[in-house]
Amino acid sequence: MNVARSIRTERNQPAAYLFIAPAFAIVLVFSFVSMGISFYVSLHDWDGFRGEGQFVGAANYVRALTEPNSVFWLALRNTILYVVMAVVGVLGTSLPLALLCRRARYGQSLFRTLYFLPSITPMVVISLVWIWLLQEWSVLMDRPQTALAAIALVGVWQASGYNMLLFLAGLNDIPQEYYDAARVDGAGRLQEFWHITIPLLRNTLIFVTVMLIIGSFQVFTQAYIMTGGGPQRSTEVLALQVFKNAFSYAGQMGYASAMAWLLFAVLFVFIMIQVRVFRSRRIYDQ
Amino acid sequence: MTVARLRVHRGRRGRLTGLVAFVVMSAGAFVMIYPYAYMVGASLKTRKEFATDKANPIPQRFRPTERLKHARGEPSALDWPGADWPVLRNYTDAIIYGQVDVFLLNSLLYAVVITAVQLTVNTLAAYAFARMKFRGSGLLFALLLATMMLPPAVLLVPQFLVVSRLGLVDSFLGVVLPGFAGAFGVFLLRQFFLNIPRTLEEAARLDGCGPLRVLWCIILPMSKPILITLGLFTFMGAWNSFIWPLVVLSDQSYYPLTVGLSLFRQESGADWPRIFAASVMGSVPLIALFLVAQRYLVQAISLSGLKGQ
Amino acid sequence: MIDLAGGGGRLRAAGSYVRGLFDRAGPTRDLLRRARRAAGRREARPITLRVWDWWSPSTTEDYARYFGEIERTFESRHPNVDVVFQAVPFGNYEQKLATGMLGEHPPDVFQCSVVWAQGLYRRGMLRELNDLLAATPELQDDQFMPPTLYHSRDGGKVYGIPHIVDSSCLLWNLDMIRAEPSLHGMFERRPDGTIDFRRIRFDAVHDWQHFRAIAKRLTKRRSASGEAASGGEGELVQAGFELNAYGMGAGIFLPWAASNGVSFQDRPGTRALFDTPAGAETLGFLVDLYWTDRVCPPFRRVLTSYGRFQEGRVACTMGGTWSGKYLVRNTQGWMGFGMTAFPPGPHGNGYSTTTWANMMVMSSRCRVPEVAWEYIRFICSLEGSLLKLRHLNQNSPRLDFYGGDAWAAEVRRRPYLANIPRICASGAPHYHTQTQAVQDEVQPIFEYVLLNWPDIQAGRARFSSTADALHLAAQRVNEVYRRHLKVVQGWSARDRRRGTQGGK
């Protein structure tokens, strides 16, 4: 880490512990400590109301992974499908939109404002409007095959503006000289794109993709508001299953905790990539 | 917005491309805006208008064709019951019957408290990490960073269990407590503080100022932009937060607007125009805030990696 | 509702509005209350009685009037009590209860549906009422219709008092029946022999075959010449019966199954009982109505209840005995409708449906049980029933209710109420164990069968027959029951060890 050192040596300042104490207390309690409690609960048949349960060891994990017609695998499958659709959808709209926005003759800043609006609107509001838009103009939400695509559409609609701005920032970092040099060499538009834009945008691309993946894995609001698990469980996503088991069914909070831990395990790889990319981007990429 | 530099290619081909890009972007902008128009239009409709024509956002009694028909004496939408519905009746109904003003106040309270406390706590911690030397600072910072690895969905049940143990379920503190500190904010602020030249501080330190004085008098005034940016993002995130208040609250007089809207949705006999009126009232504050503070937010995105919802 | 007090001056009105807002919003209200208490000021009504219900004043003005009168009457009789209502949507009730009972504002009294009562009692959320009941003559068992007492007790322990009785029923559009002279036998006749077009006979439909025929007669399609006529091809103008695939869960299957002699579960909730030939026959009957007889409109997700029926596009749909007030309000009175029970199926034993009596219960975290019991007594007494009749057109499980003048007058005013007592009395008990989890298991299967019947018949689908589908559904439901039973037994074991009974 790049930490500037002063010439004189500094004394240890115990006051520092006081400074960091509030942040640490809260962050640690609500992250590590809570995960520990949740792990403990996942080893029990726990009821949220009674605040207690029977110790069952790994039974909840076993049930999630091996139960015939396990809802966990179904939810995982749905969630992965959603993630793929959302990531492809967002990348496929926000990158071209960013490129187009830079080329547009008029109104660039107006476009930036308009496209960003969905990102600052509560997802609940967006879901409520899109229920009716989808109901009126399509049968997407009725059929189990397409209901997931419908909520992915809503997710893409919301996120594309924000990601468009991310790409715009990334594109702005590419020096104009490269393009000019390429033009002199006689490169066409497509070659410019392939050989200059994409490689130099790599950092941003990776960053956006990883953030999208992690964010999409946690989809909840659209499924809760629009479909409630959907026609024949086709939109039963992991976060929704965790919610239902923890809070709607009696005595299944341990099972919900087990599912949350399994979700964490699935996400772990992506999270490690995120941290790695994040640190490199922030610290070295001033 | 001053961040992006315009790159408009010259030449006729460039102009044509620019025009085409403009047209395509406008079409996309229409797709982005149309749901808002639909929402506003639906919020002005009567129940019958909404039930009979869901596709067209313009309420029937306002449409010129219907008004012409009515003027000519032909049967039209203006003959339906409720045609004299006051324009903003759904909004006043949402407030009177739906208690939307309570929800808005709650959203405001939660967002303001979370933002204020988080900024304070994060600034203190960031300053300590950036400027103060103490044993284990590296390890502790790494620990803090590590907490960013835990995604919110995974933390939902664990946080509920902690709040439940603390006896804070269904209370104001229960809603805001997990939001009182964010590792991400500490990280950003620390980055910013590290980049502030030390000269002023050293001068102040020579004069005998303690670390708190230095923070308050020197660092903070220089950090206005990042504080405003971080504050805005925290505020918006707190305003839009849905799943945590949904899980932790059951007393409806404590609901923020997001949870209140989901409540309306799930009632039997839901009055959709009224729901849309409440939705409009819930979106407008943030949009207004965004328009006022665009500069900071767009800067923040290019600094970015700031978490969405 | 807020009252903009303040005679003069906009500023004063604004000030009083803000004060009122702070009084209504939870965080500020409780903060002010704590401050007032710390300052030593006593409150006018020191006892707060928190009442929860899924009936919401914001959905109908009728509920607003009903709760308003309840509050006024009760508060005038108990001047030191402040009744605070909270409306919680039915679908979120258990979740909100579980959270609310953990927090600072648990409900004291709430309306409890039969689908949750057993589970809540086993979890320890409900207070036993045997001691309070012993001292209250007007709420004894002999005052109520027997089927209504089924769900509010377990092993001799009473945890709820029924206050309304509901049943599923068939809703009929009487105007459409009237347009078919051959169906006029379905109407009641007045003593002088003329047809009363506002009332449908309880036994209007003789059996399932008859139902099919009626539905077919009432299905009109636009023929090539542009006219609407029964049968034939062409665009559907009027449907005979509405079947919702997307809402198709146990709640839709059950009444028809009951009329075919099929029960859903045993009383303690250990086994699913619907996996029988009669059950398969029921599902087959419903499927045939859509795919073979084609009397139903195309399947669409419905976001509003009885939407198509209200719009006058279907002649018959499934609803409940409580639907009347909604229909009257939503159609603003222009539609004539009636209710009947479900006709007997081939294996059935007379008209049947499902009946349940929602109950008033006291939470185990109630801090003022005497006041809460007074409230329950008020609601479940004849006086409370008459209030419900006046405001909500809701009928009561009390036997003395039906002998009174009020009911007779109401029936004369609203003829659709006439069949309700017989409908309720004919019903079988509604399923009640782990209903949310059971519904989540069963609904996808029923939906699948209804939506993909042609594939099932062609042998391309997951199931080979309705019996096959029911078999899987029963398996899943039994799994839910088994899991639940294991958890409950664990709780009982801990309670016995600790020497306590239920709850925190």
Residues of C with CB below 8 A from A244's CB? 440
Q: Are residues B78 and B129 in the same domain?
A: no
Residue A282 to residue B191, Cβ atoms within 8 A: yes
Question: CA of C163 to nearest chain A CA: how many angstroms apart?
Answer: 25
Is C86 contained in some domain?
A: yes
Amino acid residing at A223? A
Domain limits for position B75: 12-92
Q: Are residues C172 and C157 in the same domain?
A: no
Closest-CA residue of B relative to C304 is B269
Digit-coded pLDDT (tens) for B178-200: 989 888 889 888 888 888 888 87
Digit-coded pLDDT (tens) for A141-160: 888 889 999 999 999 999 99
Is C297 contained in some domain?
A: yes
Confidence category of residue A270, pLDDT binned at 50, 70, 90: confident
Residue B97 to residue C57, Cβ atoms within 8 A: yes
Single residue among C394, C425, C456 that ends a domain in this structure? C425
Sort residue A251 into left (φ over 0), alpha (ψ -120 to 50) or beta. Answer: left
Is B137 contained in some domain?
A: yes
Q: Are residues C200 and C212 in the same domain?
A: yes
Residue C24 to residue B102, Cβ atoms within 8 A: yes
Is C20 contained in some domain?
A: no
The domain tally of chain B equals 2
Single residue among B92, B107, B134 that ends a domain in this structure? B92
Digit-coded pLDDT (tens) for A203-215: 888 888 988 998 8
Residue linked to tokens 């907490």: B147
Residue A249 to residue C303, Cβ atoms within 8 A: no
How far, in Å, CA of C71 to CA of B229, rounded?
49
Residue A54 to residue C490, Cβ atoms within 8 A: yes
Using DSSP bridges, classify how beta strands C47-53 and C81-87 pair: parallel, antiparallel or unpaired.
parallel
> Do the Cβ atoms of B231 and C77 come closer than 8 Å?
no
Closest Cβ opposite residue B283 in set A29, A125, A215:
A125
User: Please, which residues have CB within 8 angstroms of residue C93's CB and are 6 or more apart in sequence?
Assistant: C54, C113, C116
Residue A135 to residue C486, Cβ atoms within 8 A: no
Between B305 and C93, whose confidence is greater?
C93
CATH 1.10.3720.10 fits A63-284, yes or no: yes
Q: What is the DSSP string of chain B?
A: --SSPP-PPPSHHHHHHHHHHHHHHHHHHHHHHHHHHHHHHHHTS-HHHHHH--S-SS-GGG-HHHHHHHHHT---GGGSTTTT--TTHHHHHHHHTT-HHHHHHHHHHHHHHHHHHHHHHHHHHHHHHHH---TTHHHHHHHHHHHTTS-HHHHHHHHHHHHHHTT-TTSHHHHHGGGG--HHHHHHHHHHHHTS-SHHHHHHHHTT--HHHHIIIIIHHHTHHHHHHHHHHHHHHHHH--HHHHHH---GGG--HHHHHHHHHHSTT--HHHHHHHHHHHHHHHHHHHHHTHHHHHHHHHH------
Q: Are residues B266 and B251 in the same domain?
A: yes
Q: Are residues C187 and C141 in the same domain?
A: no
Q: Are residues B129 and B71 in the same domain?
A: no
Q: Are residues C326 and C419 in the same domain?
A: no
Confidence category of residue A38, pLDDT binned at 50, 70, 90: very high
Q: Are residues C237 and C347 in the same domain?
A: yes
The domain tally of chain C equals 2
- CATH code of B181's domain: 1.10.3720.10
How far, in Å, CA of C315 to CA of C305, rounded?
15
Domain limits for position C361: 44-162+357-425
pLDDT, one tens digit for every residue, chain C (504 residues): 444 554 568 899 999 999 999 988 999 999 998 898 888 887 778 899 999 999 888 777 788 899 999 999 999 999 999 999 998 988 889 889 989 999 888 999 999 999 889 989 988 899 999 999 999 999 999 999 888 999 999 888 999 999 999 999 999 999 999 999 999 999 999 999 899 999 999 999 999 999 999 999 999 888 766 666 666 677 888 899 998 887 778 888 999 999 999 999 998 889 999 999 999 999 999 999 999 988 998 888 776 667 788 888 899 999 999 888 888 878 887 889 999 999 999 999 899 999 999 999 999 999 999 999 999 999 999 999 999 999 888 889 999 999 989 999 989 988 999 999 999 989 899 999 988 888 888 988 998 899 899 999 898 888 899 999 999 999 999 999 998 898 888 888 888 888 755 443
Chain B: touching chains (3 or more CB pairs < 8 Å): A, C
User: Percent of chain A, pLDDT > 70?
Assistant: 93
Residue A250 to residue C99, Cβ atoms within 8 A: no
Digit-coded pLDDT (tens) for A6-33: 444 456 777 888 888 899 999 989 999 9
Q: Which range scores top for mean pLDDT: B14-18, B146-150, C93-97?
A: C93-97
**Per-residue pLDDT, B4:** 43
Closest-CA residue of A relative to C503 is A50
Single residue among C425, C455, C475 that ends a domain in this structure? C425
Closest Cβ opposite residue B286 in set A27, A110, A121:
A121
Q: Are residues C198 and C276 in the same domain?
A: yes
What's the mean pLDDT in B95-106? 91
Closest-CA residue of B relative to C97 is B250
Phi, then psi, of C420 in degrees rounded to 5: -60, -45
Residue C299: DSSP 8-state: P
Is B223 contained in some domain?
A: yes
Work out the burial of residue C215: count CB atoms within 10 Å of its CB; fewer than 13 is exposed, 13-18 middle, 19 or more buried: buried
- CATH code of C442's domain: 3.40.190.10
**Per-residue pLDDT, A4:** 46
Q: Are residues C192 and C311 in the same domain?
A: yes
Q: Are residues B185 and B243 in the same domain?
A: yes
Q: Are residues C197 and C298 in the same domain?
A: yes
Is C38 contained in some domain?
A: no
Single residue among B70, B92, B114 that ends a domain in this structure? B92
Q: Are residues B178 and B261 in the same domain?
A: yes
Show which of residues 236-255 on chain B sit within 8 Å of chain C, judged by CB atoms: 247-255
Is C51 contained in some domain?
A: yes
Asked if A147 is an interface residue toward chain C (Cβ–Cβ < 8 A), one would say: no
Confidence category of residue A50, pLDDT binned at 50, 70, 90: confident
Is C439 contained in some domain?
A: yes
How far, in Å, CA of C130 to CA of C111, rounded?
18
- Average pLDDT taken over every residue of chain B: 85
Single residue among B92, B109, B144 that ends a domain in this structure? B92
Closest-CA residue of A relative to C92 is A248
Residues of B with CB below 8 A from C1's CB? 96-97
Residues of C with CB below 8 A from B51's CB? 304, 307, 311
Q: Which of C96, C126, C440, C497 to mutate to test the interface with A (most CBs of A within 10 A)?
A: C440
User: Please, which residues have CB within 8 angstroms of residue A214's CB and are 6 or more apart in sequence?
Assistant: A267, A270, A271, A274, B151
Asked if C27 is an interface residue toward chain B (Cβ–Cβ < 8 A), one would say: yes
Residues of B with CB below 8 A from C93's CB? none
> Do the Cβ atoms of A232 and A242 come closer than 8 Å?
no
**Per-residue pLDDT, B305:** 47
Is B152 contained in some domain?
A: yes
